[in-house]
Structure 1
Amino acid sequence: MLTLLFPMAAMAGVNVEGVRIWPAPDHTRLVLDVADKVDHKVFALSGPSRLVIDLENTTLKADFDKLDLSGSPVKRIRSAPRNGNDLRVVLDLKSDIKPRSFQLEPNQQYGHRLVVDLIDEGGLKARKPSEPTVTENANGKRDIIVVVDAGHGGEDPGAIGPRGTREKDVVLRMSKTLAELIDAKPGYTAKLTRTGDYYIDLRSRTLLARKHNADLFVSVHADAFRTPQPRGASVFALSQRGATSETARWLAKTENRSDLIGGAGGVSLDGRDDMLAGVLLDLSMTASINSSLGVGDSILGRLGSVAKLHKKGVEQAAFAVLKSPDIPSVLVEAGFISNPKEEQNLS
């Protein structure tokens, strides 16, 4: 009986049990909740614009008609069985897009997922750099620009507290409040990496900071641990290990050579040999880390007057969002969302 049942179980296939859509400024993310990993193919068609998702040995149990497609490039979603056991999903689009697909393992909130990104190729990379605001009564000096980065978002909820509070929601509210406080201070302008519930990949967050000509980058998070006891706020700057790996990455990618160190009017790596470019990057990284540590220490001093600190000094780690070689960058863990009291305070 067991010998007979195993192949039958294999033939039973995978169900698509749910579906979500997350529109963002430069892409839209379609997420299919699947019972297990699924073999699939994704390809785009033009005239008219469509995206086809073929899933092998899959049955649809979700309802695409219930999706709110507003704010996305999708006009309609159709589906039909194919080749007996397979499923074909077709997205009718308003314009051509570049597709990207991958699968996610289960997390605290969701099970297995197939993610399909509809990328607007005129999105992040085509955005023109922001023109710095000039304060009226400051002898023509431009505003200091602080880019505030709300961690996680969209399909990535971040850490989840005992009461179900999601890090992505808490840090977005916190970031918007912080941006308002910064904008209210003469001589300062705040920019947000995300303004809604969608995900931006880590490299694109630092890219946005560069597009905004940022003088400081602040990434806002809420920590978590496997037990409820740990609590307190932390501030992180980039570690030397992270700086070394990033310098190597910049030198390895020729397209980075046209980037400037120090923003407009800074030092170009274009045309420099590897040794000189490496020296310039090391100098810039060192200055950026030192500035980050100074800012982080100041932030800790202020945080300590309103919240318990997890560590008294600025910690250093190889977080990807801290790796800009010319923008002082800090990551603030505002508290432990896994601690019931701090979850309540963060909410």
Structure 2
Amino acid sequence: AAFQQAAQTLAAAGEWHRLFDLRLLQARYELGLDVGRRDAIDDVEEPVRTRLEAAYLHACREVGELLLDAGRYREAWMYLRPAGDKQLVRERLSRAAPDLGDDDALDELIEIALFEAVDPERGYAWLLQRQGTCNGITTLDSLQSQLSPGDLRACAAILVRHVYGELRGNLRGHLARLKGEAPATLSLGELMRDFPELTEQGSYHLDPSHLVSALRYARLVQEPRLWSMADEMVEYGRRLPDDLQYPDVAPFEKTYVANSLYFGALLGRNVEEAIDFFASRTRRIGAGGEGPDSGRDDLEAAAAYVDLLSRLGRPGAALQAYAELTPVDRELGPLTPSLLDLARASGDWDAYADACRRRNDLVALIAGAVSRQG
């Protein structure tokens, strides 16, 4: 009774951290441990240790939920992270309505959602609102290796929509200055088609490096609507002066030529031409073999080619390309379909087994056998 009364008093006063301490004290008392000592849980012997761990996690959930109710997300996550309650925090973040004028509150939400990976997609959208395109791209670049493929694709989609909207808005602003008005319903592509003067005489409406970055991330997304947005941004880039058409990573050094073929193929345009182009890029880069970046360029070119074939519904060809173009001791990375993914999609288990044997990868060979049976 004394513990419960004290808990009610602390909760009413908003003394959440002291409530947590009280719950741990209560657990030690109920388990017959010395309440005057603060032994680490690992130092407590079984079976008491398991019960103490359960009490600790229960206290984490209790206090974490109370802090969530109070809108103190950073402190709440400190308790809910060890309890593994990411979904609860994600659900609460989905109901948050941050004040864009309250920098501290918004930064706290971004920290938990994006940098603690509780809800990266939502957190990244908030970050773009808070910090803008330049910092948004820099941040996503720095987080690439930390985000899961699904979360990275979701953030990439947010960036593509953001940059498309920014570019379209800037063209509409330019049109309004020229004509006195700008139709609200026109897409980026329609603005360029109907008002070609917007992109004449060296005009540009967005940092060209931001456009290159947005297209690089657009190659990760899987929604046809976003491919169409990217295709329109490519067309805008092709109208830029030559000195503003910045190169990208291999095989997209000629940014707008290569991206036009890539997104065009995904949208059903000049498919065979695109396949031939990216196939030739893998051969040309692979034949070079010089310079500090040659190995990385080889893998980037192979990944783009394999990914394109897979997206075009040619998993068998993608499997063959993966096996032929990738060194036996290397993988193409988590954003490219794996050999096993391609074998499942194509049903070409013989080619998969051959690739595994060349790689001397017994584990992958067994994984294929199990998948084939299933």
- With normalisation by structure 1, the TM-score equals 0.25
Greater strand percent: which structure? 1
More contact order relative to length (CA 8 Å, sep ≥ 6): 1
Which structure has the larger Rg over C-alpha atoms?
Answer: 2
Greater helix percent: which structure? 2
- With normalisation by structure 2, the TM-score equals 0.24
